[in-house]
Amino acid sequence: MDRRWKIAGITLLAAGAAGAVAAWIVRDQVERRGRDLFSPHVLRRLAALAHLDRLPASVDHVTLLRDFIAWEPRSLLRNRARTILDRMAEELESSADGPSLSIG
């Protein structure tokens, strides 16, 4: 019986460690995507916009997109960001709890 408890304990410890490592990797990747939005490389910025487009609307994302639009020198990426911003703003305005946002 003791051996079974030891095996179960080691298994749970290993699963917990694997979960912690997976959470750390996911957090790191999300932070990298956020940093890539202001990357000097155009393709990384485009990939970051595609990533943002898959995220749910939030006030933080709307603010980030507004900052990006003001900063971005390329009209193609600015227009893509405006499209994503419009969608997110509409989602926030249509939600019952969401604050009203004006796109300026």
CA distance 55 to 85: 12
Q: What is the mean pLDDT of each run of 10 residues along the chain (104 residues)?
A: 88 94 79 79 88 89 95 96 95 71 56
Query: pLDDT at position 86, please?
Result: 96
User: Six-digit token pair at 25?
Assistant: 């990797």
Query: pLDDT at position 85, please?
Result: 96
Mapping DSSP onto H, E and C, the string for the chain reads: CHHHHHHHHHHHHHHHHHHHHHHHHHHHHHHHHHHHCCCCCHHHHHHHHHHHHHCCCCHHHHHHHHHHHHHCCCHHHHHHHHHHHHHHHHHHHHCCCCCCCCCC
Number of other residues whose CB lies within 10 A of the CB of residue 11: 10
Structural domains of the chain, with CATH: 2-94 (1.20.930)
Query: pLDDT at position 104, please?
Result: 55
Query: pLDDT at position 95, please?
Result: 83
Distance of CA 95 to the CA centre of its chain: 20
